[in-house]
Homo-oligomer: A and B are copies of this chain.
Amino acid sequence: MTLVITLLTDFGISDSYVAEMKAVLISAIPTVQLVDVSHDVSPGDIHAAQYLLGRSWRPFPAGTVHLVVVDPGVGTGRRALAVERDSHFFVGPDNGVLTPILDRATVVALPPDPGASRTFHGRDIFAPAAARLAQGTPVTSLGLPIVHPLRITIPEPSQNGKTVAGVVIYVDRFGTLVTNIPAAWARPSQKVHVGGVVVPLLQTFGDVATGALVAFSGSDRTIEIAVRDGSAAERLKGKVGTQVRVAEV
């Protein structure tokens, strides 16, 4: 059986840090299928890593191990976690980055390793744990169960009559503003209000002319705001935290 391990870090791709983690994984499992989710998370940006983890883990095959190392507190007292959730496995620091998969999960704390470096737990703690999980070691064999892993919850949208209020939770490479508003909460007759501008709620980029603003149900089933062949982030000066409202008028 082919074992799959995904990697999500803020290590960038200029240095050899990602390759050094992969060396550990391949030494343990030479045939492992490795998939980079992203290494271009801004240093220490736990919110962005959360979003990427939350939307990307589920389509991978059951048994996949997801290695998440956005870890500004490396070497401090923060715990290291291994998690099982719906036949997927996760390894990462206990700093909130694993929040999207903690519900209904089995969570253990990895024991400290006195032989590990103090600054590169991705290589010395997390990658070895990921390899063991991929090889079939039960998550409960890797450490003691804990009941209160740290959670950093994404702000919830709120509904007030027919109006929905939410925020931008992610900005992608195209400058598309991804909100926390479930597309199912919006109605075709409504409009999206952001930065003092009213944006029509349609289906896709192609429903408006080049250069025009459009909102639609995005690929993660939340409301997104885009500019066809352009950047909504630039146009609207939108960023994570920008308020968005969906309303009849």
Given contacts A27-B61, A120-B219, A216-B118, contact A15 B76 (CB under 8 A): no
- Interface presence of A1 (CB below 8 A): yes
**A120 cross-chain contacts in B, Cβ below 8 A:** 218-219
**A6 cross-chain contacts in B, Cβ below 8 A:** 19
Contact with B along A17-42 (1 / 0, CB 8 A): 11110111011001111111111110
Given contacts A13-B13, A26-B35, A39-B13, contact A224 B4 (CB under 8 A): no
- Interface presence of A174 (CB below 8 A): yes
Main secondary structure of the interface of A (DSSP, over half): loop
Contact with B along A39-71 (1 / 0, CB 8 A): 111011000000010011001110000000000
Contact with B along A158-182 (1 / 0, CB 8 A): 0000000000000011100000000
Counting chain A residues whose Cβ lies within 8 A of the other chain, the interface size class is: 35 or more
Query: In the bound complex, what is the Cα–Cα distance between A59 and B205 (angstroms)?
Result: 35
Closest to A71 in B: B205
Copies of this subunit: 3
Given contacts A75-B203, A229-B72, contact A119 B26 (CB under 8 A): no
Query: In the bound complex, what is the Cα–Cα distance between A52 and B23 (angstroms)?
Result: 14
- Interface presence of A204 (CB below 8 A): yes
Query: In the bound complex, what is the Cα–Cα distance between A56 and B6 (angstroms)?
Result: 20
- Interface presence of A136 (CB below 8 A): no
A123 touches B74 (CB 8 A): no
Query: In the bound complex, what is the Cα–Cα distance between A17 and B218 (angstroms)?
Result: 12
Q: How far is the CB of A125 from chain B (nearest CB, A)?
A: 12
Q: How far is the CB of A54 from chain B (nearest CB, A)?
A: 9
A206 touches B74 (CB 8 A): yes
Closest to A4 in B: B26
Query: In the bound complex, what is the Cα–Cα distance between A204 and B118 (angstroms)?
Result: 6
With A1-B30, A43-B173 given, can you name 18 additional A-B contacts, CB distance below 8 Å?
A4-B30, A8-B16, A15-B173, A16-B38, A16-B52, A17-B172, A17-B219, A23-B35, A30-B33, A34-B35, A43-B174, A43-B229, A74-B206, A76-B204, A117-B217, A119-B204, A119-B218, A120-B218
In the complex, 8 of the A-B residue pairs with CB atoms within 8 angstroms, ordered by the A residue number, are: A2-B30, A13-B39, A16-B55, A20-B219, A23-B60, A26-B33, A27-B59, A43-B173
